Amino acid sequence: MGERLNGCVIAVLATDGVEQIELTEPVAALRREGAEVHVVSDKADRIQGFHHHDRGDRIKVDMPLDEAEADKYDGLVLPGGVINPDALRLAPAAIRFIRHFVDKKRPIAAICHGPWTLIEAGGASGKTMTSWPSLKTDLGNAGARWIDQDVVVDGNLVTSRKPDDLPAFNAKLIELLERATRRPNMAE
C-alpha cells in the first residue's frame, strides 16, 4: 500500500446509474495510495451501479449527501454513466456540494458523463476538458474547450473520456491530489 495520499480525504459523488468501474477503480487506486475515500450520495445505504446499459452491483454509500461537509474533503471524484450525472445535476444539494470544490479550487476529477454536473456547478467555463464525446457540445456551450484525449489536466481539474482511460485518469488524479495536498515535512 502506498503512502502518497496519507491524510487525504476524498469524496466520490454518485447516485443510482453510476458507471460502476468509473467509481470502483478510482476508489481502489486512491485507497492504495493511503487516501480515505467516501462514496457520497443523495441515496441512503446503497446505489445501483451499471456496466454500460446493464445493472451491476449495489455499491455501499459511506456518507449521505445531506450530512457530507464539503470542507472536510481534499478532493472530489465525479464518475460517469449517463443516468448518474444526469440525476445529480438536477439535485440542488449535489450542485452546491460540487460548487464548493469549484469555488475553493480544490482538486476535481470527472470522467465520461461526469462533467455534466460541473457545467451546472459553474466549473467548466474557461477549462480545457475531455469527456464522453456526446458532451462535446454541452461543454463548448458552457465555455469549455473540449479535446479528444485519454486524460486532460487543467489546473485543479482532471477529466477523461471513458472506462478505457481509467489507468491514465487515476494516475493524473493521484498526482494532482499529491501536489495539492502536500503537507510540509516537519523533519525538513
Nearest to 14 by CA among 36, 38, 35, 33: 38
Q: Got the DSSP string for 1-56? A: ---TTTT-EEEEE--TTEEHHHHHHHHHHHHHTT-EEEEEESSSSEEEEEETTEEE
* Pairwise CA distance, residues 78 & 67, whole Å: 18
Confidence check: pLDDT of 183 > 60: no
Cell of 173: 488524479
Write out pLDDT tens, residues 159-172.
999 999 999 999 99
Domain 9-181 homologous superfamily, CATH: Class I glutamine amidotransferase (GATase) domain (3.40.50.880)
Mean pLDDT of 53-78: 97
At 132, give phi and psi (nearest 5°).
-60, 140
- 128 Cβ contact list (under 8 Å, min separation 6): 144, 145, 147, 152, 154
pLDDT at position 2 is 82
- Contact between 112 and 138 under an 8 Å Cβ cutoff? The reply is no
For residue 137, the SS3 value is helix
Cα 27 to chain centroid, rounded: 10
**Would you say the pTM of this structure is higher than 0.85?**
yes
Write out pLDDT tens, residues 4-54.
999 999 999 999 999 999 999 999 999 999 999 999 999 989 999 999 999
- Contact between 85 and 41 under an 8 Å Cβ cutoff? The reply is no
For residue 125, the SS3 value is coil
Amino acid at 6: N
> So which residues are the catalytic ones?
113
Query: What are the sequence ranges of the domains in the chain?
Result: 9-181
Percent of the chain with pLDDT over 70: 96
Nearest to 107 by CA among 2, 3, 11: 11
